[in-house]
């Protein structure tokens, strides 16, 4: 509304100049049967532009005053034509601003006036009446078509804005989930290693030194990953590569557990699937470090043609779990949400004295598995101990 009001003075000025100047020209074409312009006529010509200026604040009053001035001008025998600019603009405004009934009533009143005036002034011509009626209907149809086009454009803009807000909300949710996983894993690891260092610092200082080195590495890692996620919020800021399965070895080394990584098969993975698989393994190792310290953990990645199977198992705790009663309890639901978001499944529960997490993430169908470069960690079936 503010943008529209900015243009009202200019529109009113243009209409005022057009009605006065063009009415002078219209008189020369109608001087044989219409009266010349006088001060009263010029005053009537300026009433309409003045009402155009205040039409948004006083829509009904400006309409009534403009119609009265238009009818008085026509009834006074002054030249036809430009005097109709003002009422046309007001009627068009009513139609496009959802006052359609008032707009159509006004058009009907004007049409009745013209027909009655023509009859009383002796212009009893059927074709004259048809021409006026056709012109009025055509004007109203054009106004309605413009209104429909404006409403459709407004609806498209509204839908685009809603879609933008939805995408922004999804992106914020994704970033929040990434931050949760990064913080939960690394802070849990830091807590476990700090507890270990406190127990060993007096009797086994060298082992305590190893735990403290792990804490240093983990804290550096969490800061780096937080910057990677938060940089997305800064326009034009570089973003670090998304956490992927090529970083599993580092993840296993920092977990403080005896981790064996097995890969069966090889193929290219969509970034969303690779990130979800990485986070599932990360959360599984976090749970193992929290609830099953000292256990042996096996991570198995099976690259199928239609799905990626992720299996993480541990053999159970060999020493008291320092953090077994701590945590929010959102780890497994979070992993299940990641798998479900991709159309996959995740099962987690006790197995053979330890714990088992199995996720199946669907992949785009491929005629043959794609081979990765030999230097990539997943380039061939392999078994690694960390």
pLDDT of 121: 74
Predicted confidence (pLDDT) at residue 181 exceeds the cutoff of 90? no
pLDDT digits (tens, 9 = 90+) for 232-277: 555 544 444 456 788 888 888 877 788 999 999 888 888 888 888 9
pLDDT of 119: 79
Contact by Cβ (8 Å): 312, 329:
no
pLDDT digits (tens, 9 = 90+) for 129-159: 888 889 889 989 998 999 999 889 989 988 9
Order of all β-strands in the sheet with 354-362? 345-351, 354-362, 307-314, 296-303, 258-264, 382-385
pLDDT of 188: 67
Predicted confidence band of residue 57 (pLDDT cuts 50, 70, 90): confident
pLDDT digits (tens, 9 = 90+) for 11-25: 888 888 888 888 888
Predicted confidence band of residue 228 (pLDDT cuts 50, 70, 90): low
**78-101 average pLDDT score:** 87
pLDDT of 345: 92
pTM flag (> 0.75): no
Output the average pLDDT for the chain: 78
pLDDT of 312: 93
pLDDT of 3: 42
pLDDT digits (tens, 9 = 90+) for 336-364: 888 888 889 999 988 888 899 999 999 88
C-alpha to C-alpha distances, 274 to 15, 224, 241, 286, 327, nearest whole angstrom: 65, 19, 12, 18, 26
Dihedral of CA 223/227/228/229: which sign? Answer: positive
């Amino acid at each position: 509304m503010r943008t529209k009001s900015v243009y009202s003075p200019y529109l009113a000025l243009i209409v005022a100049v057009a009605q006065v100047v063009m009415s002078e020209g219209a008189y020369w074409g109608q001087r044989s049967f219409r009266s010349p312009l006088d001060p009263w006529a010029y005053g009537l010509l300026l009433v309409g532009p003045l009402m155009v200026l205040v039409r948004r604040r006083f829509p009904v009053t400006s309409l009534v005053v403009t119609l009265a001035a238009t009818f008085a001008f026509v009834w006074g025998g002054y030249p036809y034509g430009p005097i109709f600019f003002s009422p046309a603009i007001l009627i068009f405004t009513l139609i496009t601003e959802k006052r359609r009934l008032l707009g159509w009533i006004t058009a009907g009143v004007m049409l009745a006036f013209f027909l009655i005036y023509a009859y009383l002034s002796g212009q009893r011509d059927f074709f004259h009446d048809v021409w006026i009626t056709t012109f009025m209907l055509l004007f109203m149809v054009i106004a309605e078509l413009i209104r429909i086009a404006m409403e459709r454009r407004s609806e498209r803009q509204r839908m685009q804005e809603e879609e933008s807000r939805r995408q922004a909300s999804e992106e914020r949710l994704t970033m929040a989930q990434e931050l949760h996983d990064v913080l939960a894993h690394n802070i849990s690891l830091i807590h476990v290693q700090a507890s270990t260092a406190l127990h060993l610092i007096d009797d086994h200082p060298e082992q305590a030194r190893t735990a403290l080195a792990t804490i240093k590495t983990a804290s550096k890692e969490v800061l780096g990953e937080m910057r990677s996620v938060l940089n997305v919020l800064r326009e034009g800021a570089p973003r670090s590569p998304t956490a992927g399965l090529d970083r599993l070895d580092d993840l296993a080394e920092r977990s403080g557990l005896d981790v064996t990584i097995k890969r069966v098969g090889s193929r290219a993975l969509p970034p969303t699937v690779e990130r979800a698989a990485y986070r599932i393994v990360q959360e599984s190792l976090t749970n193992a470090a929290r609830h099953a310290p000292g256990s042996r953990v096996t991570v198995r990645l099976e690259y199928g043609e239609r799905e990626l199977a992720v299996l993480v198992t541990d053999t159970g705790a060999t020493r008291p779990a320092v953090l077994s009663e701590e945590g929010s309890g959102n780890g497994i639901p979070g992993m299940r949400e990641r798998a479900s978001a991709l159309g996959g499944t995740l099962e987690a529960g006790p197995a053979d004295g330890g714990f088992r997490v199995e996720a199946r993430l669907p992949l785009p169908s491929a005629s043959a598995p794609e081979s990765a470069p030999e230097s990539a960690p997943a380039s061939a079936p392999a078994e690694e101990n960390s």
